[in-house]
Amino acid sequence: MSETELRNADIDAALAEAKEAYVKRNPKSLARFVEATAVMPGGNTRTVLHYAPFPLGIARGEGCRLWDLDGAEYIDFLGEYTAGIYGHSHPVIRAAVDRALDAGVNFGGTNLIEARFARAVCDRFGLERVRFTNSGTEANLLAISVGRIFTGRSKVMVFNGGYHGAVFGFAGGGSPINAPFEYVLAAYNDIAATRALIEQHASDLALVILEPMMGGGGCIAAAPEFLTMLREQTTKVGALLILDEVMTSRLAPGGLQQVRGVKPDLTTFGKYIGGGMSFGAFGGRADIMDLFDPRRPDALPHAGTFNNNVLTMSAGLAGLTEIYTPDAARALNARGDALRERLNALCRAQNAPMQFTGIGSMLAVHFTRHPVRSPADAAKGDQKLKELFFFDMLAQGIWLARRGMFTLCLPIGDAECDRLASAVEEFLASRRSLLNGG
């Protein structure tokens, strides 16, 4: 066998051993999984949460900690894929939800909170108008739809490896259940090729949509000059620029667009802004958003029984105005930047083919020495080492995404960051022979 084949065999053996230990530690989660498979396909109703041999069953959460069915405790470094920024039991959020429940849940009418919440969102993110939805997927679906109507054009530019919700997945070129728009697929961070595509499709390109930092794609930031080019070129050809800040709006008081100095025509939101409840929103220019004004004879319809539900409106308003203030946003993301630099320093000290990308309170691990500027770069990393890292972190009480994503929530402090750094240091030491072969 070649040196590479021997190394791969060693990684396979280590991964098999880690999974065997995982199965032995979690008999109740296995039983829950088997029971769930009788009524849900694969025991699952949310694909990203599945991993082999079976996912852990989470029994409860408090602050920044989780407990599984078998009693193991974890520090929650996943933060519900950025939605759980307030942790699992913030008293201000709980009080807001309790007040909403006490006053009645489903009104079938406008309530006294939604306009206040809309004002807070508009002021925070520099929007002229906003409308609420139930998810980031819905927000992107409606933003893209109104963009096509407003411009009178059909084509939608997206980026390979991008993700904008359940019907907007573009890893590997796209998902078979994507919404049936006419897509133009571009390469993230490739300025010359993307500019050429915009010019090629100028006459029928309705819009360009992207995350200013890919979340699901591996916490890969768009280069500032790439965003600037997109703003200039879309304006030049009369297309709209939509920034999906469902995840990245947490990275600065006014979202990542504030940091980058790029003003889109529309922005989409979700996740934490609803206070941990189901939430989405889209907003921006008044001349575009006012197509939904029901006072117009030609108004576009926008339905959704729970768009303005009192639980989300109440939790969202409390969270955005009382808890995740601009100062809190700056502090949390400074903590995340410091943690990412600390973890990368550990990797450099061991000369390991391992790095953490991201901005602020969002980060992801990649097993490669090369710069990661696109999903194609990330795909070149060692995926088996990433899987081994996942199971090793679970064994040390660190909860993260199977794909290697971490997000910080507000209850995470110095002690928790120390725990993560120690766990990564232990991984680097215990798996040194596997890493050094990379």
Q: Please identify every residue annotated as catalytic.
A: 163, 244, 271
Cα separation, 322 vs 88, whole angstroms? 17
- Residue 259 phi/psi, 5-degree rounding, is -70, -40
Among the listed residues 61, 18, 105, 8, the one whose alpha carbon sits nearest the alpha carbon of residue 314: 105
Omega prior to 326 cis, within 30 of 0: no
Cα separation, 68 vs 46, whole angstroms? 18
Cα separation, 18 vs 430, whole angstroms? 12
Residue 45, CA atoms < 13 Å, CB-side half-sphere: 4
Cα separation, 428 vs 188, whole angstroms? 31
Cα separation, 260 vs 221, whole angstroms? 11
What DSSP assignment string belongs to 286-328?
A: HHHHGGG-TTSTTPPP---TTTT-HHHHHHHHHIIIIIS-HHH
Structure tokens at 72: 């193991």
The 3-state secondary structure of 364-396 reads EEECCCCCCCCHHHHHCCCHHHHHHHHHHHHHC
Structure tokens at 201: 């499709």
Residues contacting residue 208 through CB under 8 Å, at least 6 positions apart: 157, 198, 230, 234, 239, 240, 241, 242
Which residue type, as a one-letter code, is found at position 135? Answer: S
Residues contacting residue 284 through CB under 8 Å, at least 6 positions apart: 127, 128, 129, 264, 265, 266, 267
